[in-house]
């Protein structure tokens, strides 16, 4: 992997030289848009309607529309000057908070923070200190001409930085009209719903979750390449009204049966214990 950013993590008067790596990657199946008549790839052009001509990338500038039809032009040196003024290549720690206090809605994208040349010792010092306190560092970083809020935490043997949305970027959930409802819940319904959650509770093992849609889509593509007929799956019944208590009870029984099935499968795949050694 190649680092996408190099700088320093500012920890009081201590600077930790770090490199930033993307921690995730998209594995979506990509499609080309084709002309249905000739199956040729569609080409998207940068076209100016005023000049009636295609525009080269080097002739394009960034403009902010402050009034209808009026723009102020910003050049690359303007962004570089602002980036240097706002912290440049530093990750400035603002606060240390508890992880549980950060609502996941704030998280945007995850990155790995690795020590840069000569920064291994101070990197390890910061990592151990933050691990012992159990805190998360809330920081600010300039990335791609953008001032981003970030949360830095320890994950295994590395520091992970997640960029975050600012509060004014989070839409208020109270604006949703669907939340203005009034319902009455029976104690037994709540109790059974809790029992269902307990029946489905398990340790988080990320390797058990797979993108079944992507695999099915790839199987469909391979079938079409091979010229095989593809059968459409049966559509599930919708609109069927069921009793809430019956649905909860059936769900609990189904979850219990699935647990027993998984436990049985684990016992069958578990290697047999070695027999006792014979004593001479």
Res 114 pLDDT > 90 = yes
pLDDT of residue 19: 94
HSE (side-chain half, CA atoms, 13 Å) at 35: 7
Q: pLDDT class for 280, splitting at 50, 70, 90? A: very low
Please, are residues 61 and 73 in contact by the beta-carbon 8 Å criterion?
yes
Res 160 pLDDT > 70 = yes
% pLDDT > 90, the chain: 44
User: In Å, what is the CA distance from 6 to each residue of 62, 89, 232?
Assistant: 26, 7, 50
> What sign results for the dihedral spanned by CA atoms 27, 31, 32, 33?
negative
pLDDT of residue 271: 61
Between 78 and 194, name the one with better pLDDT: 194
Between 213 and 97, name the one with better pLDDT: 97
pLDDT of residue 102: 94
Residue whose C-alpha is closest to residue 116's, from 229, 15, 267: 15
User: In Å, what is the CA distance from 129 to each residue of 20, 112, 133?
Assistant: 20, 18, 6
Q: Residue ranges per domain, the chain? A: 5-25+79-168
Could you list the beta-strand ranges (E) of 32-133.
47-48, 53-54, 62-67, 70-74, 90-98, 107-115
Res 279 pLDDT > 60 = no
Q: What is the Cα–Cα distance from 125 to 226, expressed in whole angstroms? A: 57
CATH class of 5-25+79-168: mainly beta
- DSSP letters, 219-236, are HHHHHHHTT---PPPPPP
Q: What is the Cα–Cα distance from 158 to 93, expressed in whole angstroms? A: 17
pLDDT of residue 95: 93
Least confident window among 51-65, 147-161, 266-280: 266-280
pLDDT of residue 154: 95
Q: What is the Cα–Cα distance from 53 to 42, expressed in whole angstroms? A: 18
Least confident window among 20-24, 106-110, 129-133, 187-191: 187-191
Residue whose C-alpha is closest to residue 152's, from 102, 223, 204: 102
Match 């950013």 to its residue by tokens. 5
Between 144 and 251, name the one with better pLDDT: 251
Average pLDDT, the chain: 85
């Amino acid at each position: 992997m190649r680092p996408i950013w190099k700088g320093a993590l500012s920890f009081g008067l201590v600077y930790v030289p770090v490199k930033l790596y993307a921690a995730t990657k998209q594995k979506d199946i990509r499609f080309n848009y084709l002309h249905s008549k000739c199956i040729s790839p569609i080409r998207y052009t940068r076209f100016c309607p005023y000049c009636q001509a295609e525009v080269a990338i080097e002739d394009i500038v960034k403009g902010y529309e402050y009034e209808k039809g009026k723009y102020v032009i910003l050049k690359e040196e303007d962004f570089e000057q602002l980036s240097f003024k706002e912290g440049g290549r530093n990750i400035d720690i603002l606060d240390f908070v508890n992880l549980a206090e950060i609502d996941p809605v704030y998280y945007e994208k995850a990155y790995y923070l690795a020590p840069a040349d000569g920064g291994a010792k101070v990197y390890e010092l910061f990592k151990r200190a933050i691990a012992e306190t159990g805190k998360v560092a809330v920081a600010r970083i300039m990335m791609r001409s953008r001032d981003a809020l970030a949360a830095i935490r320890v994950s295994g043997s590395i520091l992970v930085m997640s960029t975050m949305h600012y509060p004014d970027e989070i839409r208020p959930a109270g604006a949703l009209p669907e939340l203005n409802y009034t319902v009455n819940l029976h104690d037994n319904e709540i109790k059974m719903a809790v029992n269902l959650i307990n029946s489905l509770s398990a340790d988080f093992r990320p390797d058990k979750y797979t993108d079944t849609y992507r695999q099915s889509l790839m199987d469909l593509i391979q079938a079409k390449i091979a010229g095989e007929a593809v059968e459409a799956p049966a559509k599930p019944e919708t609109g069927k009204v069921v009793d809430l208590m019956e649905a909860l009870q059936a769900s609990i029984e189904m979850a219990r049966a699935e647990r027993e099935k998984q436990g049985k499968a684990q016992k069958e795949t578990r290697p047999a214990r070695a027999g006792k050694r014979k004593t001479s």
